[in-house]
Amino acid sequence: MEPVSTSRQQLRQSLRSRRRALSEQQQQIASQQLERQVSGAELFGRHQDIAFYLANDGEIDPLPLLLMAHQQNRRCYLPVVAGDELWFVRYQPGDRLTPNRFGIPEPADNSQRIDAFELDMVFLPLVGFDRHGGRLGMGGGFYDRCFENSQLIPKMKQPHLVGLAHQCQEVELLEQESWDIPLPTIATDREVIN
């Protein structure tokens, strides 16, 4: 685990390097193990509208989870970057994708967009995490801005947020900023942490 005293930017760089250092085979195994962990914990539950992401920059790949959800006739969504906002667009395997300004593929047709708070569950990528629900993202703040109202209006319907990461991305404790959205659940290739 990384020491707590490391600055956020240094920590982000270190953890991104760590996950990018995983071989293609290690990435595939981690993705399969993640699917087993999520399936074993029955995280999908009764959720029907579930957002995923397409792995980039060494992120743990949730594609097997997306395919499992699709086979179970759940509605799957992917994030789309629109300015400084994050939209969620309906996605089915085989739909046409186009790279966004960061080079990350996203649905080319965004006509089936829904509000983030209409989702039942959102799987989001992590750069780092701790066992207290602390998360470190890429630093763009897209997910934080997207779900900031969940902190301001506690009684509004909120999707279940689940952070996904390789186990090697765990840190002892992350100092959280006021805008950071804590996670109730984190799933890795080795365990599900509530």
Dihedral sign for Cα 115, 105, 96, 45, please: negative
SS3 content of the chain, % helix, strand, coil (to 5): 30, 25, 50
Task: Note the pLDDT tens digit of each residue in 64-74.
Answer: 999 999 999 99
Q: Quickly list DSSP for 45-103.
A: TT--EEE-----TTPPP-HHHHHHHHHTT-EEEEEEEETTEEEEEE--TT--EEE-TTS
Task: Kindly give the interhelix angle for 63-71 and 24-40, rounded to the nearest 10 degrees.
Answer: 40
Lowest mean pLDDT among 73-82, 86-95, 152-161, 172-181: 152-161
Query: Are the beta carbons of 138 and 12 closer than 8 angstroms?
Result: yes
172, pLDDT greater than 80: yes
Residue reference for tokens 């991104």: 16
Q: What's residue 54's pLDDT?
A: 95
Average pLDDT, the chain: 88
For residue 105, give the 3-state DSSP assignment.
strand
Q: What domains appear along the chain, each with residue ranges and CATH number?
A: 8-193 (3.40.50.10420)
Q: For the whole model, what pTM was predicted?
A: 0.90
Check residue 39 and give its pLDDT: 93
CA dihedral 21, 12, 89, 87 (to 10 degrees): -160
